[in-house]
A = this chain, B = another copy of it.
Amino acid sequence: MLYIIGLGLADEKDITLRGLEAVKKCEKVYVEAYTSLLSFGVSSDGLSTLEELYGRPVTLADREMVEEKADDILSEARGSDVAFLVVGDPFGATTHTDLVVRAKKFGIRVEVIHNASVMNAVGVCGLQLYRYGETVSIPFFTETWRPDSFYEKILRNRQLGLHTLCLLDIRVKEPSLESLCRGRKCYEPPKFMNIQTAIEQLLEVEQIHGESAYSEESTCVGFARLGSGDQRVVACSMRELMDVDFGAPLHCLVIVGKTHPVEEEMLEFYTIKAQTVEEEMGLHCSL
């Protein structure tokens, strides 16, 4: 049996009881390192927090390993219980359909254990999830590669009055250009797009297309470390967001569409002004 288990958003305590029960009976435990395990206290050096909780060794699986050694993982799952742990939900922002498809083709039973994903946890800002249009990804621009297919999607969402979730680029274990040239594998340090970079790129693309999908004045919500004890959520204009210090990754951004009064009432708590008052009154809290 192959268990694909969502770990949730922040740390080792976000696994569900069902998920933990499954991990504990598995002979082999992998944890995906495609995206980010930053807040899980996991690095390539040690997985000890998770290992302690699960009572068994955990193997870090990067994309390369999953692609190259999928058959090994799956043949283990044929004869015994194997857990594949995934940050967020197994079918959230980063999907793991490929592994499931391969498993099913081998006739291996698969059980999925769900958890929170950035795709639903952004609901905490008060914008209702059913009023979001298509989600977009903002990739890191390079000198020669500046793809902007997100622009048309945001424009469409805005015309329909819908909110847009922007997922910001994550680069983990990218081979360095130098290493590719030399034929040896060396990796760039991990890179996580922050809200400032995302907004700079968004405004650059708006200037090129000029269809007024959004502007510096458009209301947005910035999120950092969503779901963790020190998450930061701020609602204001793009321009104002540029000056907010969101701290460590991961970041994401919502471009606000047409709002209902109940949405506005919640957003109000996340404005810079409201947050300053709260801090002064000693009322600062997770929400």
Contacts and interface: CB of A to CB of B under 8 A. Distances in A.
B129 A132 contact: no
A166 to B, nearest CB: 11
Contacts of A115: 8, 16, 115-116
Nearest to A111: B286
A110 interface: yes
B126 A130 contact: no
A120 interface: yes
A129 B133 contact: no
A143 to B, nearest CB: 27
Q: Tell me if A's interface is mostly helix, strand, loop or mixed.
A: mixed
Contact of A287 (B17, B92, B110, B120): B110
Contacts of A162: 134
A84 to B, nearest CB: 13
Interface in A69-115: 89-93, 95, 97-98, 100-101, 104, 107, 109-112, 114-115
Please indicate which of the listed interface residues A17, A135, A136 has the most CB atoms of chain B within 10 Å of its own CB.
Answer: A17
A100 B269 CA distance: 10
B120 A283 contact: no
A286 B2 CA distance: 11
B20 A114 contact: no
Given A18-B14, A91-B123, A120-B119, A111 B8 contact: no
Interface of A: 6, 8-10, 12-18, 20-21, 89-93, 95, 97-98, 100-101, 104, 107, 109-112, 114-117, 119-121, 123-124, 126, 128-137, 156, 160, 162, 167, 227, 262-263, 265-266, 269, 281, 283, 285-287
